[in-house]
């Protein structure tokens, strides 16, 4: 799934910092097949190594990808895939993956002088991992043995180890992880979504269950109505977690699931993967209704990522999804992860309350919350129906010409409090109550703060570089927004916001304008680098 909004800006900042160090262009290399390290069939944690051994292994893998000219790009991709599966935030591997994907040769990793030393380190750690004697660790050990065998195919020790692994554990499958280097057609931009989905997914009409195997596929598999199995994308992974939860809850293995397409809504496999993990909650909720043979309301939509324990994880682009709701979806009822409430405060500060007047937004903490919300009206709890009805009364008042002036009216605020008392997870009522009583958030979330601070820089970050002598102006609308909200940025980004504003004014007055621009550019580079190094910020933006 393509990175959007704040995540895209965050990675632009990291890549901008990387570009400061000066890169060497790769020469004579074949295309680099960007690996899908999430497709590797073993867990990220608990690999059977202590911290020192784990660091040694990661360094050796990064060295294979970065240090040696006679290593093929496919083998580099294999090393990167293993390293990033073990630690997605491992900077040397992250840098190697990005730069090789752009056709740029990364600088060597220090501390590994020869390919033989790297290979020996990888093999030694593969043996340590294998001693843990679990299926998952054996799979990781197999990938490492396969890698060293490709690096040194004539070494009898590595050849024997690979043969022994194959005899006990089967073939090591790289195909799902390292893609073919054939041209891949991109999905159609601007895919149309029918009005009843409006950036979220309707809660009904998504699934069918097949009790017998079809010629097109195994009935035990999860897949699509044409027989195609789920892939390895972000949606597929999230959906599998949700199905796992349903199986545990029901005490059975859920078999023969097919996602059926509503062609009027232009649903297909690519559509679901483009939605990312946000599509998991509506799909799992719909599947549960099919399994329990009950109906769903047709005017409620959901977005959210489902964990195997049934909890609902946040969705990074929930603010964009809410702001981009189609005009004809006004009056809709929407369920979002409760963990995304910070994004609603961002909407109040940056865009005002309109979206909460137009839509009834509910928070979903666990799957049962979605089940309760999406039941048909006659089957829903009385307090929930009453909350929805009372909020509709508020909507009818505020939507009238000049109605927004009444948002601070005592009668409106009383009705909003009644809604919250009936349904504490009614987020629209909570947000309008905050607006009406002028209790706005003191600061923006990290995600929104990063977008506000970084957006003015987009014109000068072409090619992920920052030119000290750039004559390009910062984006004026975004710059005006930063000036307005600079004091409300997440405290960790205050220095970055100030550096962007200083850069925008550098060289406008004084005798040595070039020197002033250079100083301001260096200050901005330093702040971008500090942000990129901040582990807490990185982890929060990559969740």
Is the per-residue pLDDT at 263 higher than 90? no
- The answer to whether 312 and 366 have CB atoms below 8 angstroms apart is yes
CB burial readout 348-357, b (16+ within 10 A) else e: bbbeebebbb
Closest Cα to residue 223, out of 176, 295, 283?
Answer: 283
152's torsion region: left (phi>0), alpha (psi -120 to 50) or beta? beta
Is the per-residue pLDDT at 269 higher than 50? yes
pLDDT score for 199: 41
**Which domains, from first to last, does the chain contain?**
34-169 (no CATH), 201-407+423-428 (3.30.230.10), 446-542 (no CATH)
Average confidence (pLDDT) over 471-491: 87
Q: Report d(CA 266, CA 97) in Å as an integer.
A: 34
Is the per-residue pLDDT at 511 higher than 90? no
pLDDT score for 417: 97
Cβ neighbours around 163 below 10 Å, total? 12
Q: Report d(CA 199, CA 115) in Å as an integer.
A: 49
- The answer to whether 146 and 139 have CB atoms below 8 angstroms apart is no
Is the per-residue pLDDT at 136 higher than 90? no
**Average pLDDT in the chain:** 76
pLDDT score for 198: 34
What are the tens digits of pLDDT across the range 270-290? 666 667 788 888 888 888 887
Of 23-27, 119-123, 329-333, 486-490, minimum mean pLDDT range = 23-27
Angle (CA) 65-35-318 rounded to 5° is 125
Average confidence (pLDDT) over 129-138: 64
Q: Report d(CA 330, CA 428) in Å as an integer.
A: 13
Q: Which of 214-218, 323-327, 451-455 has the highest mean pLDDT?
A: 451-455
pLDDT above 70 as % of the chain:
71
pLDDT score for 467: 56
pLDDT score for 423: 97
Q: How confident is the model at residue 486 (pLDDT cuts 50, 70, 90)?
A: very high
Q: Residue 366 has what DSSP assignment?
A: B
- Reduced to 3 states (helix: H, G, I; strand: E, B; else coil), residue 223 is strand
Class of residue 306 by CB neighbours under 10 A (exposed 0-12, middle 13-18, buried 19+):
buried
Q: What is the four-CA torsion angle of 81, 86, 89, 95, rounded to 10 degrees?
A: -30
pTM over 0.75? The answer is no
Q: How confident is the model at residue 329 (pLDDT cuts 50, 70, 90)?
A: low
Phi and psi (nearest 5°) for 390? -65, -35
Is the per-residue pLDDT at 394 higher than 90? yes
What are the tens digits of pLDDT across the range 372-388? 998 888 888 999 999 99
Closest Cα to residue 283, out of 409, 273, 442?
Answer: 273
pLDDT score for 273: 67
Contacts of 114 (CB under 8 A, 6+ apart): none
The neighbouring-strand residues paired with 313 are 305
Closest Cα to residue 368, out of 327, 330, 338, 347?
Answer: 338
Tokens linked to 173: 């499958």
Tokens linked to 203: 């809660």
Tokens linked to 23: 């890169």
């Amino acid at each position: 799934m393509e990175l959007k909004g704040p995540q895209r800006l965050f990675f632009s900042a990291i890549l901008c910092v990387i570009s400061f160090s000066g890169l060497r262009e790769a020469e004579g290399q074949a295309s680099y097949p960007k690996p899908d390290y999430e497709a590797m069939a073993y867990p990220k944690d608990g690999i059977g190594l202590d911290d020192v051994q784990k660091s040694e292994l990661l360094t050796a893998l990064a060295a294979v990808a970065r240090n040696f000219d006679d290593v093929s790009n496919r083998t580099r991709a294999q090393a990167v895939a293993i390293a990033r599966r073990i630690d997605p935030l491992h900077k040397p591997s992250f840098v190697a993956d990005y730069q090789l994907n752009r056709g740029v040769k990364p600088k060597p990793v220090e501390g590994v002088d020869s390919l033989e030393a790297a290979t020996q380190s990888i093999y030694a750690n593969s043996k340590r991992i294998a001693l843990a004697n679990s299926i998952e660790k054996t799979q990781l050990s197999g990938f490492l043995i396969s890698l060293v065998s490709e690096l040194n195919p004539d070494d009898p020790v590595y050849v024997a180890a690979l043969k022994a692994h194959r005899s006990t554990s089967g073939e090591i499958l790289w195909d799902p992880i390292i893609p073919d280097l054939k041209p891949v057609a991109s999905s159609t931009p601007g895919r149309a979504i029918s009005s009843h989905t409006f950036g979220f997914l309707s809660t009904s009409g998504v699934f069918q269950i097949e009790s017998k195997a079809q010629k097109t596929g195994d009935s035990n598999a999860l897949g699509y109505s044409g027989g195609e199995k789920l892939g390895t994308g972000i949606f597929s992974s999230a959906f599998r977690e949700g199905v796992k939860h349903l199986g545990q809850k029901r005490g059975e293995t859920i078999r023969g699931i097919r996602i059926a397409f509503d062609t009027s809504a232009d649903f297909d496999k690519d559509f679901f993967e483009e939605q990312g993990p946000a599509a998991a909650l509506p799909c799992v909720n719909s599947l549960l209704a099919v399994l329990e043979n009950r109906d769903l309301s047709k005017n409620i939509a959901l977005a959210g990522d489902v964990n195997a324990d049934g909890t609902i994880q946040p969705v990074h682009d929930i603010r964009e999804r809410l702001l981009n709701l189609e005009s004809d979806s006004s009056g809709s009822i929407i369920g979002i992860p409760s963990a995304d409430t910070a994004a609603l405060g961002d909407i109040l500060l940056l865009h005002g309350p309109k979206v909460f007047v137009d839509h009834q937004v509910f928070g979903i903490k666990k799957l049962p919350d979605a089940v309760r919300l999406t039941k048909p009206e006659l089957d829903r709890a009385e307090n929930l129906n009453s909350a929805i009805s009372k909020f509709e009364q508020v909507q009818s008042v505020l939507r009238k010409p000049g109605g927004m002036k009444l948002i601070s009216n005592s009668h409106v605020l009383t009705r909003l409090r009644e809604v919250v008392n009936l349904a504490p997870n009614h987020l629209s009522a909570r947000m309008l109550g905050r607006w009406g009583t002028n209790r706005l958030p003191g600061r923006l979330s990290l995600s929104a703060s990063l977008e506000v601070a970084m957006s003015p820089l987009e014109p000068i970050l072409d090619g992920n570089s920052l030119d000290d002598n750039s004559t390009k102006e910062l984006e004026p609308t975004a710059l005006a927004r930063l000036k307005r909200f600079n004091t409300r940025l997440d405290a960790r980004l205050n220095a970055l916001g100030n550096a962007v504003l200083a850069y925008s004014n550098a060289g406008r007055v004084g005798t040595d304008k070039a020197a002033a621009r250079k100083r301001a550019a260096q200050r901005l580079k330093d702040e971008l680098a500090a942000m990129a190094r901040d582990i807490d910020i990185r982890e929060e933006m990559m969740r």
